[in-house]
Every structure is written in C-alpha cells, then in structure tokens.
Amino acid sequence: MKIQERTGAGAGRAAAPAQPSVGDRLPTPPRERKPALAALAVLLILVGALGATMLVLQAGDRVEVVRVTSDIQAGESVGENVESVLVAEDTSINYVEWSKLKTLQGLKAKSTIYKGTVVIGEMFADQVGVTEGKATVGLSLKAGQFPAGLKAGDVVAAYQVGSRSGSNSNSNSDADADTGSGGAAAGGGNNLIVDEATVTSVPGGDGDELVGSSNLAVTVTVDADRAAPLALAASNGEVAIVLVPGSN
C-alpha cells in the first residue's frame, strides 16, 4: 500500500514542467523588417543633400561683367578702358555682361563714370544731350595750338591768338603805359576766352591725329555764355588751348 502511494507521488512530480537553467535565455522573436521606412529615410537624406548643394551653387553663381579702368566723361565711349570682373549674379541689377562689350563701346556715357565702377546699362545711351547751361563748340586747331597727347576728358583753357589778339594786347599796353600800370598782365588777361573747357572729342583719342594733315578737330564743352566768343575766335583760326594744371 505504501509502495503504490510513493509511486503515485513520484509520478506526479515527474509530470511537472522542467524549469530552464539560470544560464539559458529565452529565444526572442525575429524583428519585423520595414523596407518602406528605410526607403523613406534614404530619400530624405538625398533630398537634404541635394538642397544643400543647390544653396551652395546658388551662392557661388558669378557673372562676368564690365568695369571701367579710367574715368569716362559724359558723351564718351568706354573704348578700351575696360576690364572684366566677376560679381554675384543679381537679376535686379542691369549689369553689362562682358560678352556685350562691343555693343557697349557703341554707346555714350550719360554722365561721368569714375575709374573702378562696375557699369550698368542705365549709365549709357545712343545719343547724349548737352547738360543745361553748357554748350559744345568745335575747334579746328593747327599744330602748336594744342598740347601733344590731348584726349577726351582733359580740362583746358582757351586763348585768343593771332593778329587781332596782338593788336588788342598792343593797344592795351599803350594805354597802360600812359597810366603807369602793367600792360603785359592786362593784355594777357584779355586773351583768355574760357578758363575751363572739357574736351569731349578728339580724333583718334590721343590728340595726335590731324585733319587734312594740318588741323586737329577738337570738340569742347563750355559754359553757354562763353560759347559765342569761343566760336567766333575759332572761325578765324585764332584759338589755342592749353591743359589746365591738375586736369590729368
């Protein structure tokens, strides 16, 4: 009787589930793969990199434009006084691109453009009118009546020369001799027609080209009230010009 009870009790204990040992781990379920999320992450990385690249490229955009290397007076062309520079592209600014230099050289400056200026289209026009209060006068000068190397932009003084000037000077000298004053100073002062005139045009641009191998055609801009006496003296061939100190 006791033997059966022990057997039954042992059988009952053998039927209990075995516990895992302390060193063993329970198996974990496999991770669920999400290829759609991985693809989205890669796409976002690519979009971010592309956006950063575009910003860098946009910030680095440059355009080759024209800059003047010497002062350009109103009514003048830039000629060869230019150089190319790179500037940040800006559609709100009407830069004159270097590729359009030939077109630019056929235009005239509306006002003085100073050395080092990056030019824009609004600075030039096909034809430029004379500033109010000013007048342009054409001079036909013989050798010896103008300085060598005369060029557009120079500031000159115009004097009356020739027989009329000499007779005026002599008469003034005689009158001054009677009064005891300095006749030479009086005569020299009367010979001055214009104290400041701006040369706006010279054939060849260097003042060395003569018209008809004898005369140089020069155009100057003067105050309107001095245009008439200057034109009268010029018509008689009695004008000589000299550079004003500091004009270059």
Where would I find the beta strands (DSSP E) of 35-121? 62-68, 82-88, 108-109
Each residue of 72-121: pLDDT tens digit? Answer: 877 788 989 999 999 888 888 899 999 999 999 888 887 788 899 999 98
Q: Please report the pLDDT score of residue 200 as a whole number.
A: 80
> Angle at CA 15, nearest 5°, toward 10 and 17?
130
Q: Please report the pLDDT score of residue 174 as a whole number.
A: 44
Q: Please report the pLDDT score of residue 150 as a whole number.
A: 86
- Measuring CA to CA, which residue among 246, 224, 37 is closest to residue 130? 224
d(C-alpha 41, C-alpha 187), whole Å: 95
DSSP state of 223: E
| % of the chain exceeding 70 in pLDDT | 64
Sign of CA dihedral 92, 98, 100, 103: positive
8 Å CB contact between 74 and 111: yes
d(C-alpha 86, C-alpha 66), whole Å: 9
All domains of the chain, ordered by start, with CATH? 62-125 (3.90.1210.10), 134-243 (no CATH)
d(C-alpha 169, C-alpha 158), whole Å: 16
| Residue 75 CB neighbours (<10 A) | 24
pTM for this prediction: 0.45
> Angle at CA 235, nearest 5°, toward 231 and 241?
65
Residue 31 host element (H or E): none
Task: Give backbone dihedrals phi and psi of 194, rounded to 5 degrees, phi first.
Answer: -135, 130
